[in-house]
Amino acid sequence: MKPTKEEFLVTGIEEIRENEPLSRHTTWKVGGPADLLIHPKSREQLEQAMKIIHQKQYPWRVIGRGSNLLVRDKGIRGVVIKLDEGFEYLQIEGTEVTAGGAFSTVVLATKTARSGLTGLEFAGGIPGNVGGAVYMNAGAHGSDISKVLVSAEVLLETGEWRRLTNEECKFRYRTSVLQNELKGIVTEATFRLTEGEAEKITAHLTEFKDRRRQTQPLQFPCAGSVFRNPPGDYAGRLIQESGLKGYQIGDAQISELHANFIINRGQAKAEDILSLIQYARKTIWDRYEVDLEPEVLVVGEA
């Protein structure tokens, strides 16, 4: 049964959209419609919505800023949840930093650096939010969320609230317990950082940002690194050495600037991007017998 707007009005959520194109909510600018897209502004609204979802057994998914996400062309059935302004907050107390699940990781890295706290500089180039960063154990420049997270508040799909410790998150390379074993929404995360000199930390952060601008095709819609780096190597190097830079299917293209990026040159479909991912994987396997594992999350109906 398809969820309806009327069912969720009782939660107090004001922004509820039926058949909302998810191309408007992903950094790749592709993706079909969500049956229902809701924007909870508070813990209470989110909890009530989750209780309805659980009671009616609707399929559901949470999305953040739409980075690292590929939504198929037929969209997502059930309810898509996008945390709103009530989850965009930041609190800094000494070396302990707490941020809402919808808070920008880029802004988090910038504000902590300016406060003289080091440890989150790597996140200055990750265009997502805190909830997604914990979910994916996001990382760059040799560090990741697992190095600094103390705990994460999670609303489980049963409507139960849990506070997970770093250990309970079971972090591994670009994964956490939330991807398979424990289905829930990260609504808040607490980090422990280290005191330092704000000027030096900010300069270090700026270096990372400058490097990102110089080496990544940010002028086009994209979703960050497409593949996880295989052990002891780099996905981008393997793709580049295979001569795939610039290879194109439809309007989806392997970037000529960074081979581990696929860009949307204008009118790409999710199917174009998926075909390009599959082609790159086959090419690398045939040449190196290395199975490139996608880092982007593919969701929705084919």
Could you report the per-residue pLDDT of 86-103, keeping only the tens digit for each? 999 999 999 999 999 999
Q: Which two tokens stand for residue 275?
A: 């075909």
Q: Mean pLDDT in the chain?
A: 95
Residues 144-187: pLDDT tens digits? 999 999 999 999 999 999 999 999 999 998 999 999 899 999 99
Specify the number of domains making up the chain: 3
Catalytic residue among 174, 176, 188, 281: 174
Please give the pLDDT value at position 41: 97
Per-residue pLDDT, 302: 82
pLDDT above 90 for 8: yes
pLDDT bin (cut points 50, 70, 90) of residue 229 is very high
Residue 255 lies in a domain: yes
256 as an active site residue: the answer is: no
H helix count then E strand count, the chain: 7, 18
Q: Tokens representing 170?
A: 């079971």
pLDDT for 208 beyond 90: no
Does 302 fall in a domain?
no
Label residue 214 by pLDDT band (50, 70, 90). Answer: confident
Catalytic residue among 20, 121, 153, 295: 295
pLDDT band of residue 74 (cuts 50, 70, 90) is: very high
Asked which of 9-18, 137-146, 282-291 is least confident by mean pLDDT, the reply is 137-146
Q: Which domain holds residue 272?
A: 217-295
Q: Could you tell me if residue 301 is inside a domain?
A: no
Q: Which one of 52, 85, 118 terminates a domain?
A: 85
- Helix 198-215 to helix 105-114 angle, to the nearest 10 degrees? 150
Which of the following is catalytic: 23, 67, 104, 225? 225
pLDDT digits (tens, 9 = 90+) for 108-146: 999 999 999 999 999 988 889 999 999 999 988 889 999
Residues 101, 132, single domain; the answer is: yes
162 assigned to active site = no
pLDDT band at 215 (very low <50, low <70, confident <90, very high): confident
Query: Is 174 labeled as catalytic in the residue annotation?
Result: yes
Which of 85, 120, 148 is at the close of a domain?
A: 85
Which pairs with CB-CB distance under 8 Å and at least 24 residues apart come from 244-252?
244/279, 244/280, 244/283, 247/276, 247/279, 247/280, 248/276, 249/275, 249/276, 249/279, 250/275, 252/276
Q: Are residues 47 and 123 in the same domain?
A: no
pLDDT value at position 150?
98
